[in-house]
Homo-oligomer: A and B are copies of this chain.
Amino acid sequence: MIAKDFITIQKGLASYIHCTPVITSSLLNKIIGVNLQFKCENFQKTGSFKFRGATYAIQQLTAAQKSRGVVTHSSGNFAQALALAAKGLGVKAHIVMPKNAPQVKKDAVLEYDGFITECEPGNTAREKSAAKIENEIDATFIHPSNNKNVILGHSTATLELLDQTHHLDIIVAPVGGGGLLAGTALAAHYFSKSAVIGAEPMQVDDAYRSLLSGKIEMNVHNNNNNNTIADGLRTHLGSINFPIIQKYVDGIIRVEESEIISAMRLIFQYLKIVIEPSSAVALAAVIKEKERFKSQNVGIILSGGNVNLDTLSFS
């Protein structure tokens, strides 16, 4: 990759995606003591940055591949993103979702004309179902985070952020599957001198442990320790994004559940925007280590706004 390639990617995506706004709050800056610039991917189409990578990955397919469709497994933001991205490019999208996925998530995929295949809950079952579709109809499998083109598409959020701001000392992005953090790090490396920090819930600190051990670590699921409110970050790194993260990311800060909730409240209160808990993790990391960020210009990638409103009660 050279810098010019990213500009080509950005230009190719421009008419499909929203250039999302960057917002600030002087009161919040005063409270925290950091100059924060928030990149609002909650306002991206389908409500998250995932639409960027999904669109770019489909754009890169050959005409023959496009005619056969794409397939992924996701019960979260990538499902909606791939469905709408495919629709916009005239491609069929097959989404493998666990039977027990919330109806609201299934409805969102159907709304964007995605085809849902239900499977049993669990990673093995969903990988098997996706592989079956891949084989049967020769659809192209697009992984939600461990796919080079998905990562490159995601990098455009940071390209825009750098265009929209004057100078950033540090950029902070949440890390789950690693696609966003890898894309952020690549864009920052080629177009800025900004350091890049990942933010991760303590309960699913696989990325933090992976950087320490030098190999991809997992979270042990089905216990009480990985039930983080930041449900978009429960996944683990992959073979494509991990080396990028190892090379270009300057560290990962882990945060507690209560810190995520506090950061989410601050964003609701001062920025007046709706974000999902996974997005709040980045601000929580800055607050946790505020001495390290003190008086610096810090970009925060707010990854999405698809909060489950059933967990938010109005009274």
Contact = CB atoms under 8 A, between A and B. Distances in A.
A64 interface: no
A312 B268 contact: yes
A64 B307 CA distance: 52
Contact of A273 (B27, B261, B273): B273
A289 interface: no
Contact of A268 (B261, B265, B309): B309
Contacts of A305: 272
Given A264-B314, A314-B261, A309 B269 contact: yes
A47 interface: yes
A228 to B, nearest CB: 13
Contacts of A277: 314
Contacts of A42: 272
A49 interface: no
A55 to B, nearest CB: 17
Contacts of A264: 314
Nearest to A26: B45
A293 interface: no
Contacts of A62: none
Interface string A13-36: 000000001010001000000000
A222 interface: no
A191 B273 CA distance: 31
Contacts of A307: 268
Interface in A251-282: 261, 264-265, 268-269, 271-275, 277
Given A21-B21, A111-B27, A309 B265 contact: yes
Contacts of A274: 268-269, 271-274
Interface core residue of A271, A272, A273, A312 (most chain B CB under 10 Å)? A272
A315 interface: yes
A140 to B, nearest CB: 27
24 contacts: A21-B21, A23-B43, A27-B111, A42-B272, A261-B314, A264-B314, A265-B309, A268-B274, A268-B307, A268-B309, A268-B312, A269-B309, A271-B274, A272-B273, A272-B275, A272-B305, A273-B273, A273-B274, A277-B314, A311-B314, A312-B312, A312-B313, A312-B314, A313-B313
